[in-house]
Amino acid sequence: MTNLIPMTIRGAEKLREELKELKTIQRPRIILAISTAREHGDLKENAEYHAAREEQSFCEGRIQEIEKKLSQAQIIDISTISNHGRVVFGSTVTVINIKTKEKFTYQIVGDDEADFKKNLISINSPMARGLIGKEVGMIATIRTPGGDIDYNIFNVDY
């Protein structure tokens, strides 16, 4: 049995766009570069050829990786889930650090969508794992390298 990869609609769409770019723009450009480099003669000492082949290998590997992820994706539309104040995949959570009183807001997303600068945290991050299943008003203790940090779950939006 294959493990499903949780993904938001936005995350799946982003991967589909990257896949389309790789297949329709990057792949043909690389094939042309290989063909052009071949015309320059001896392939053993042809740096352009070797660079293009390496780029082709990376491109094809990324295409396979994206296709696999999309085939195993469990796309979750958070807007179809009724909000009961429980932290679930895709929800946006506002927490308050109990010690410092700092307020943080994060959306819990799939690994490929995670971008801490945009407050998008991976479902597999320690913070998300500590928040999943908790409800508004509960305390989540997050284990960090610097020690445990307690957060009050202030708000949950779907």
| 39, 45, 57, 59, 69 from 49: Cα distances, Å | 10, 9, 12, 15, 30
Q: Classify domain 81-157 at the CATH topology level.
A: Chitinase A; domain 3 (3.10.50)
Give the start-to-end residue ranges of the domains of the chain. Answer: 5-76, 81-157
Q: Is the dihedral of CA 80, 84, 90, 92 positive or negative?
A: positive
Whether the per-residue pLDDT at 158 is higher than 90: the answer is no
How far is Cα 118 from Cα 49, in angstroms, rounded to an integer? 39
How many residues in total does the chain contain? 158
**Residue closest to 12 by CA, chosen among 62, 63, 73:** 73
Q: Same fold for the domain at 5-76 and the one at 81-157?
A: no
What pLDDT score does 1 carry?
Answer: 52
Which residue, chain included where needed, has tokens 């539309």? 77
CATH no., domain 5-76: 1.10.287.180
DSSP readout, 73-140? Answer: EEEE-GGGS---SB--TT-EEEEEETTT--EEEEEEE-TTT-BGGGTEEETTSHHHHHHTT-BTT-EE
Q: State pTM to two decimals.
A: 0.79
Identify how many contiguous H helices and E strands the chain contains and give both numbers.
4, 7
CA distance 38 to 57: 17
Q: How confident is residue 2, by pLDDT bands cut at 50, 70 and 90?
A: low
Could you read off the pLDDT of 19-78 as tens digits, one per residue? 999 999 999 999 999 999 888 877 778 889 999 999 999 999 999 999 999 999 999 998
